[in-house]
Structure 1
Amino acid sequence: MRVKSKKAVDDVKGPQQGNDKGPLATVRARALLFGLNYAHMPSSALQGCINDVQNMKAYLMNRLGAELVCDVATDDTAAGRTATSAMGMTRKLSELAVLTYKEDLEFVWIHYSGHGTRVVDRSKDELDGYDECLVPSDYTTAGVIPDDYLAKLFEQFNPKTRVIAVFDSCHSGTVVDLKYSWEGRACTMENSNSRVRAPIMALSGCLDSQTSADAYNVDGQRQYTGAMTSVMLHVLQTTGAAADDAFLLVDAMRAHLREQNFTQWPKLCSSFSLVLPSSRAMLPRRT
């Protein structure tokens, strides 16, 4: 599960300008953001996940402009708990996959902040013996969403649509079961059976064996956030090159998390080779 932490990300101030140069050229783009605090389940409650997706929405709207269609689902209302249920989340992802064809989308950003877990791999397709999972708002009755099922959802996306998927949750390293796993500039074949055709980069808050932290932000806003999401936004907003190169982004995030005494280790996976620098842009390039 995502874990509570009182470690401070003291220089992360939510959406800010820094080296952010404003909107990019207009692109056909959508974002789907899930933030789950589980306040309706006090024993599982988190505090920073809804803030994560609100901050991420502000950043994406600033970078991609008014043309971006952004769908934010949070579990702080009855309707939101339906949207963030197991059925609601998988339906939204499936509907987004359809829209990548219907609207000929060029770019999609997906963000999940919430609990993550892992269960014993009964299909025997995981090297570590576990399936990594997302935890919906109704997990006590509907169960979790395993990586095998997420992979099938991502198989539905248009091969012409570039997808960035961010998972700020525990045990999220390979939660989409993509083909390649990257460590620095070297890759290993994580899932040779992957049938995902869309060019997807997945950035996770930690390794499969690790937890991701909820952190209190003491920059004056008195705000809880996910450590991974906060650091990611900080790096994107203050290091211009990070938006153009996922390798640089991950390296900077890891260093910044270490500076803040977090032990989680963000992970990058992809459905395609990232050898060429032009393939590693986190956002559409400026024209």
Structure 2
Amino acid sequence: MAASKKKALCVGINQFKNFPSAALQGCVNDANEMSVLLQKLLGFKKGDITVLTDAQATKAAIISSLKEMVDGAKAGKYTYLIFSLSSHGTQVPDLSGDEPDRADEAFCPHDLAQSGSQWDKNHIILDDELRDLFIQLPANVLLEVYLDTCHSGTGLKAIDMLLDRTPRYLPPPSLKAFLEVDTKKSRGLRHGLLEKGMVHNILWAACRADQTSADANIAGGWHGAFTYYFCKQMYACKNALSRADLLAKIRADLKKGKYNQIPQLECEATKRQLKPG
């Protein structure tokens, strides 16, 4: 039997070691549901998928798994990679110094920690770090990223605070840190992850840069609202829809459910018209 050319990492974090009050409820379900979907609809084998949840999902473990995927792709082992992440998003001041009027998007691992007034760089995942990894991928390797997080609190509305939904956003850890990003514009994940000609990659984001994504109680269980409706539509169509048509159906489901978030699909036009996988 030929070796699989596919590799996936599915991450879901409900519990944050140093911030118990920031707990979510649907992220672990998201990771497990994505793993099952990859096996049922996209031809992945169980051994092709790494699932990291809660205490397993430290920054070191996530980055190590992604590096293994990238190194394997560079060595010709993989031609299709998937990375899904369900957690809190947050913001940090631009650390590269090239865009001082902007804030960088960041992702919260289980071991999220504070250093002084800011997030500890050893325990926060920056979009720049992911981009620096992904940009190494050969042109013949397709990377599809699913991010059920949000990176701005500016879009919060009263409906986001209902008992059956929680925004997947953590503000910066101090007043000083908040003020450093409060007047800055979010770059947006497209800029952070898909710049520098990375046109062979595909990014699904649960919401726009100025919105929040919901951790929601749907159909008797907790899920990321985006992930829930993505899986629902994938199963309904048996992966026969193009990404563009799939996105339209997910957006319609979210609107019907009174969610403010508008998922984004970032990729070149030809890939929008192809189905996932």
Measured against aligned partners, the alpha-carbon deviations of 1:194-231 in whole angstroms (never above 9, x if no partner) come to 1537x11000111112111111123xxx3111101001
Q: Normalising by structure 1, what TM-score?
A: 0.72
Letter in structure 1 aligned against 2:11: F
Q: CA contact under 8 A between 2:243 and 2:276: conserved in structure 1?
A: no
Name structure 1 gaps, 5 residues minimum: 1-25, 180-190
Aligned equivalent of 1:161 = 141
> Closer, same or farther in 2 for the Cα pair 1:200/1:66, shift >3 Å?
closer
Residue matched to 1:203: 204
* 2:65 counterpart of 1:92: yes
Q: Residue 226 in 1 paired to residue 224 in 2?
A: yes
Query: Which of 25, 45, 49 is the aligned partner of 1:70?
Result: 49
Separation in 2, partners of 1:31, 1:246: 19
What is the CA distance between 1:177 and its match in structure 2? 2.2
**Residue correspondences, number:** 231
Structure 2: 5+ residue stretches without partners: 115-121, 153-187
Identify the match of residue 49 of structure 1 among 27, 42, 45: 27
- Shift in Å, 1:67: 3.8
Q: How much does 1:175 deviate?
A: 6.0
Pairing 1:38–2:18 present: no
Matched, 1:140 2:140: no
Alpha-carbon spacing, 1:166–1:176, altered in 2? closer, same or farther (3 Å): farther
Q: Secondary structure at the match of 2:226?
A: helix
Greater share of residues in helix: 2
Partner-residue secondary structure (3-state), 2:217: strand
Distance in 1 (alpha carbons) for counterparts of 2:123 and 2:45: 36
Partner Cα distance (2:125, 2:60) in 1: 9
C-alpha separation in 2, matches of 1:178 and 1:256: 27
Q: C-alpha separation between the residues in 2 aligned to 1:122 and 1:66?
A: 37
Partner of 2:96: 123
When the two structures are superposed, what TM-score results if normalisation uses the length of structure 2?
Answer: 0.75
- The offset of 1:128, in angstroms, is 7.2
Q: Is 1:174 aligned to 2:167, yes or no? A: no
Select between 33-42 and 117-126 the one with higher mean Cα deviation. Answer: 117-126
CA RMSD of aligned residues (A): 2.5
What is the CA-CA distance between 1:140 and the residue it aligns to? 0.9
Structure 1: how far apart are the matches of 2:275 and 2:83? 12
Of 32-41 and 256-265, the range deviating more from structure 2: 32-41
Listed one character per residue, the Cα deviations across residues 78-137 of structure 1 (whole Å, up to 9, x for unaligned) are: xx1xxx212221121111101113343221111000111122224355597121111111
